[in-house]
């Protein structure tokens, strides 16, 4: 029986140094890079995302960067479709595939199922939204309990978005939450036919903090404010996923008078620090067992078992 093809994944918290490590490994191993960063999709979001530079993009072919306008919505289903296509095309060229990025939910797609096949119609969404407006969250929870006589499990009933999504899916599928969870657990992941190797870069908190501060200073010096001004003119605020991203939301607050210029860098650093903390916890608890590399020790050619 032939061995499944290898797929290499490099992750780590913001500012850990993933870009340079990925470039060097890809150059040495005849690989192309597939981005797993939920903001690099968007054209024009360059400075605030620390998107690879033109020179860096020229070193190694990259995929899933600049694939849509800032007003477009990307979800996990879109990402999986694009990523599968990119991975298959890279492999067909005889190249290795290196996935790199730190967006947890998108990253999880390489290790198991992340979306099922339940389709919710626009009419059903409108019906449930109207009931939410008329009867509040209590009315939706009552409907859910009727459809789930054995209970709602671990559903966060204080979260309106989760309650709405749960009711939509129960109504659309005709199944209970428990039945859908059981079905989901049996689904193969989108990359189940690949042998996925995962490596996580880590740095000591003090060092990572220093790198975050330097990164924010560099972004502001490179013209982050001007970038956000331009993006606002083309509809940045119509896309919450983009406009509420760290670096962008604080700059929007400054441009709209809610934040002083002297406080801008500190606000971005503070929120980036919070993101890093969440990322590190998520990586430790949500990803399968994996190799952890101390980035401060310097690049290692033996990052993966090739």
When the pLDDT of each residue in the chain is averaged and rounded to a whole number, the result is 94
Residue 35 carries which DSSP code? E
Average pLDDT over residues 251-259: 98
- For residue 116, what pLDDT band results from cuts at 50, 70 and 90? confident
Asked if residue 154 has pLDDT above 90, the reply is no
- For residue 32, what pLDDT band results from cuts at 50, 70 and 90? very high
All domains in the chain, ordered by first residue: 6-113+189-297 (3.40.50.300), 122-186 (1.10.20.140)
Helices (H), the chain: 18-28, 54-59, 76-92, 104-108, 122-147, 160-173, 177-186, 205-222, 224-233, 240-243, 248-255, 261-286
Which residues does 62 contact at the CB level (< 8 Å), separation at least 6?
32, 33, 34, 35, 52
pLDDT score for 76:
86
pLDDT score for 180:
92
Q: Between 34 and 181, name the one with better pLDDT.
A: 34
- pTM of the predicted model, to two decimals? 0.86
Coil, strand or helix at 33: strand
Question: C-alpha angle 213/43/81, rounded to 5°?
Answer: 105
Percentage of the chain beyond pLDDT 70 is 99
Range in 28-37, 41-50, 249-258, 292-301 the model is least confident about: 292-301
pLDDT digits (tens, 9 = 90+) for 206-221: 999 999 999 999 999 9
pLDDT score for 119:
86
Percentage of the chain beyond pLDDT 90 is 83
pLDDT score for 1:
52
**Rounded-to-integer distance, Cα 279 and Cα 16, Å:** 11
Asked if residue 2 has pLDDT above 80, the reply is no
Average pLDDT over residues 10-31: 97
pLDDT digits (tens, 9 = 90+) for 68-115: 999 998 888 899 999 999 999 999 999 999 999 999 989 999 999 987
How do 291-294 and 195-202 pair as beta strands?
parallel
pLDDT digits (tens, 9 = 90+) for 124-141: 999 999 999 999 999 999
pLDDT score for 186:
87
């Amino acid at each position: 029986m032939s061995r499944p093809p290898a797929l290499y994944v490099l992750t780590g918290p913001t500012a850990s140094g993933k870009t340079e490590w990925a470039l060097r490994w890809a150059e040495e191993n005849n690989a192309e890079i597939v981005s797993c960063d939920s903001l690099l999709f968007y054209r024009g979001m360059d400075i605030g995302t620390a998107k690879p530079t033109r020179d860096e993009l020229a070193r190694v072919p990259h995929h899933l960067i600049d694939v849509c306008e800032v007003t477009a919505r990307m979800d996990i289903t879109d990402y999986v479709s694009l990523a599968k296509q990119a991975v298959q095309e890279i492999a067909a060229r005889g190249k290795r595939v290196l996935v790199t990025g730190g967006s947890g939910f998108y990253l999880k797609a390489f290790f198991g199922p992340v979306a099922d096949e339940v389709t919710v119609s626009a009419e059903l969404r409108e019906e449930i939204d109207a009931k939410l407006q008329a009867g509040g969250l209590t009315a939706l929870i009552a409907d859910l309990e009727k459809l789930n006589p054995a209970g709602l499990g671990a559903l966060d009933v204080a979260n309106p978005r989760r309650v709405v999504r749960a009711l939509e899916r129960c109504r659309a599928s005709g199944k209970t939450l428990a039945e859908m969870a059981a079905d989901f657990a049996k689904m193969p992941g989108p990359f189940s036919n690949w042998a996925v190797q995962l490596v996580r870069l880590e740095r000591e908190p003090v060092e990572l903090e220093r790198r975050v501060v330097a990164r924010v200073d560099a972004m502001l010096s490179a013209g982050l404010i001007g970038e956000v001004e331009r993006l606002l003119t083309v509809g940045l605020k119509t896309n919450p996923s983009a406009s509420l991203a760290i670096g962008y939301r604080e700059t929007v607050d400054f441009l709209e008078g809610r934040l002083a210029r002297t406080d801008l860098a500190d606000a971005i650093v503070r929120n980036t620090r919070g993101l890093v903390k969440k990322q590190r916890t998520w990586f430790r608890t949500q990803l399968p067992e994996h190799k952890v590399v101390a980035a401060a020790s310097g690049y290692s050619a033996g990052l993966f078992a090739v």
